[in-house]
Structure 1
Amino acid sequence: MTIKITGTGSYIPDTIEKNERFHNHEFLNTDGSVINAPNEVIVEKFKAITGISERRYAKKHHTSSDLGFFAAEKAIKDANIDPETLDYIIVAHNFGDVKHNTIQADIIPSLATRIKHSLRIKNPKCIAYDILFGCPGWVEGVIQAQAFIKAGMAKRCLVIGTETLSRVVDKHDRDSMIFSDGAGATIVEATNEEGGILAHESASFTYDEAYYLYFGNSNNPDLDKDTRYIKMDGRKIYEFALLNVPKAMKACLDKSGTDISEVKKIFIHQANEKMDEAILKRFYRLYRTDIPENVMPMSIQKLGNSSVATVPTLFDLVKNNQLENHNINKGDVVIFASVGAGMHINAIVYKY
């Protein structure tokens, strides 16, 4: 028995928010003081660091569970399965359903429950639950699905990553330009085919790193002190990721017994273009070998950082030949890797 991803689907919102839209924002420092630079310069420096030129925002009447439902429908269709045969629905997110022009998270009932309801699944033995694991949530959901299947508790699971980060950003914070909305979904099941999940690795660094990402006040001191927004210490996250993500990827690859030369694609969480490029360099440096051409597909330039949705969305795009110069073929070994709030890190080595 092998455990494979037999279906994928993603939902990329239609609304495009280009960098130019931020030229009229009032960006402030954390102490509330005015940044001594024109917005055009702020935005250009942001693009040079992150690689982001545009991002996607959900339609006003859609929530995270809606986006997850749209992606789930596609994954179910791609796998050609009856949704009533699903044993688990695992949904990774960070803030639940946040309605447009509000800041309050709604997670009762769980997003997994809402998506199961939208899929009109009658089977009560299809267990629906959420996972809060920061940006690595979808990867961890796949690891959990594998554990259920290995333990004989399931044969088929639906794992979704969905988020509407555009609704929890502080518009006075330059970091608000990073975040976006979207969803990715996968069917994970036991098969008799070759390949599948070869190894996985997870770690939680909480002693000093727990609050690198957190909920905090707006940079604008005149706004309501009781309202919180997503905040992060970008420099510490960058240094943490560069030190720890390559090590986790190497530990996972070594555990799989696969040689570095066999890796065809690396799907890294789309958080920051320069950070991901640096992670890749350090990973291959650990093996004292050169980086292959086109090994790391990127979607952040056009889609921004949709947290738990970036890795499954990127995988779905490449799988369906929708990302220029990137494709995967049967038998290819790929790595999924992510890092995020917690601080959590994880990786999966997978044979397609």
Structure 2
Amino acid sequence: MAIKITGTGSYIPSSIEKNEDFHQHEFLNTDGSNFKHDNNVIIEKFKAITGIGERRYADNHINTSDLGFFAAEKAIADAKIDPETLDYIIVAHNFGDVVHGTIQSDILPCLASRIKHNLRIKNPKCVAYDILFGCPGWIEGVIQAQAFIKAGIAKRCLVIGAEALSRVVDKHDRDSMIYSDGAGATIIEETEGNDGILAHETASFTYDEAYYLYFGNSNNQKLCRDTRYIKMDGRKIYEFALSQVPLAMKNCLDNSGIDIKDVKKILIHQANEKMDEAILKRFYKLYNTDIPEGIMPMSIQKYGNSSVATVPTLLDLIKHGKMSNQSFSKGDVIIFASVGAGMHINAMVYKY
């Protein structure tokens, strides 16, 4: 028995927010004071560190559940399945639906129920629920789907990662330039063969690390102190990711029985270009081997950090030939990995 990804889909909003669009923003320090450098310098340094040149924002009338629905329709069509045969719909997100111009998250009903409703699925035994697991949410959803299938209580699952981070950013915080909107979806099901998901690894570090990402006040002291925005301690996250993600990837690969030399692609959560490159270097250093050219595709330059959506979106783009010089072939071994709020990390070894 193999548990495989049989269909993928993604939705990338059409509205492009370029770095130069931030030139008129009033960026402030956490205490509300002005930076010593002007925005040109701030944006130039931001691009050098993150690699992001532009990102996508959802249109005002579209919410996170809509993004997930659009991606889900494509994944279902790609897998050529009847949606009524789905046993589970698992939706990873972080903030629910935040209607444009409002400050309150809406998760009643859960996004999975909304997406199932929009898909017009009548089958009540198709169970729909959300998971809140930070940026690693889509990978964790796939791991859960695999567990359901292994346990014999499901044969086919839809796993979605969707987020509209543009609705929860503090425009006075430089970190707001990192975040973007989008969705990726996958069909997971049991098939014949010895490929598919080979191993996985998950860990939650909460003793000291739980609040590296959190909800906090705007850097603009004049704004309402009751309103919260996504905030992060970038330095601590960077150091944490570099110390823990390569180890999780190695444990996962070792448990799969696959040799490092047989790995063809590594799809890491698109959080920060420099951080992902550093994770890759540390991972290969653990095996004392060189990094193969082109092994880590990157989409962050154009699409920014859409949290739970980055990895399934990257997978879908490559699968459907939408990334230059990147493709999958039958039998390719792929490592998926992510790190995010919680602090959670996970990894998965997959044979295409």
After TM superposition, the score normalised by the length of structure 2 is: 1.00
5+ residue gaps in structure 1? none
Match of residue 273 from structure 2: 273
Match of residue 83 from structure 1: 83
Match of residue 193 from structure 1: 193
Which residue identity does 1:217 align to in structure 2? Answer: N
What pairs with 1:270-349 in structure 2 (closer than 5 Å)? 270-349=270-349
Partner Cα distance (2:191, 2:2) in 1: 5
Partner Cα distance (2:54, 2:21) in 1: 9
Residue 345 of structure 2 aligns to a residue whose secondary structure is strand
Residue 3 of structure 2 aligns to a residue whose secondary structure is strand
Alignment of 1:218 onto 2:218: yes
Alignment of 1:111 onto 2:111: yes
Residue 293 of structure 1 aligns to a residue whose secondary structure is coil
Partner Cα distance (1:22, 1:157) in 2: 40
What pairs with 1:84-233 in structure 2 (closer than 5 Å)? 84-233=84-233
What pairs with 1:17-28 in structure 2 (closer than 5 Å)? 17-28=17-28
Which residue identity does 1:299 align to in structure 2? Answer: S
Partner Cα distance (2:11, 2:330) in 1: 24
**How far is 1:193 from its partner?**
3.0
Partner Cα distance (1:289, 1:161) in 2: 33
**How far is 1:283 from its partner?**
0.2
Residue 347 of structure 2 aligns to a residue whose secondary structure is strand
Which residue identity does 2:53 align to in structure 1? Answer: S
Match of residue 3 from structure 1: 3
Residue 285 of structure 2 aligns to a residue whose secondary structure is helix
**How far is 1:321 from its partner?**
1.1
Partner Cα distance (2:100, 2:268) in 1: 29
Partner Cα distance (2:237, 2:68) in 1: 27
Match of residue 60 from structure 1: 60
Post-superposition CA distance 1:216-271 (Å, at most 9, x none): 00000000000000000000000000000000000000000000001000000000
Alignment of 1:29 onto 2:29: yes
Partner Cα distance (2:344, 2:103) in 1: 25
Identity of aligned residues (%): 80
**How far is 1:103 from its partner?**
1.8
Alpha-carbon RMSD across the aligned residues, in angstroms, is 0.4
Residue 276 of structure 1 aligns to a residue whose secondary structure is helix
Partner Cα distance (2:189, 2:234) in 1: 37
**How far is 1:40 from its partner?**
0.7
Partner Cα distance (1:300, 1:52) in 2: 6
Post-superposition CA distance 1:257-301 (Å, at most 9, x none): 000001000000000000000000000000000000100000000
Residue 48 of structure 1 aligns to a residue whose secondary structure is helix
Partner Cα distance (1:148, 1:247) in 2: 26
Runs of 4+ in 1 over 6 A off after TM superposition: none
Which residue identity does 1:252 align to in structure 2? Answer: C
Match of residue 247 from structure 2: 247
Alignment of 1:234 onto 2:234: yes
**How far is 1:101 from its partner?**
1.4
Partner Cα distance (2:161, 2:30) in 1: 30
Which residue identity does 1:209 align to in structure 2? Answer: E
Partner Cα distance (2:119, 2:330) in 1: 30
Which residue identity does 1:341 align to in structure 2? Answer: A
**How far is 1:102 from its partner?**
1.4
After TM superposition, the score normalised by the length of structure 1 is: 1.00
Residue 317 of structure 2 aligns to a residue whose secondary structure is helix
**How far is 1:339 from its partner?**
0.2
Alignment of 1:264 onto 2:273: no
Which residue identity does 1:160 align to in structure 2? Answer: I
**How far is 1:194 from its partner?**
3.2
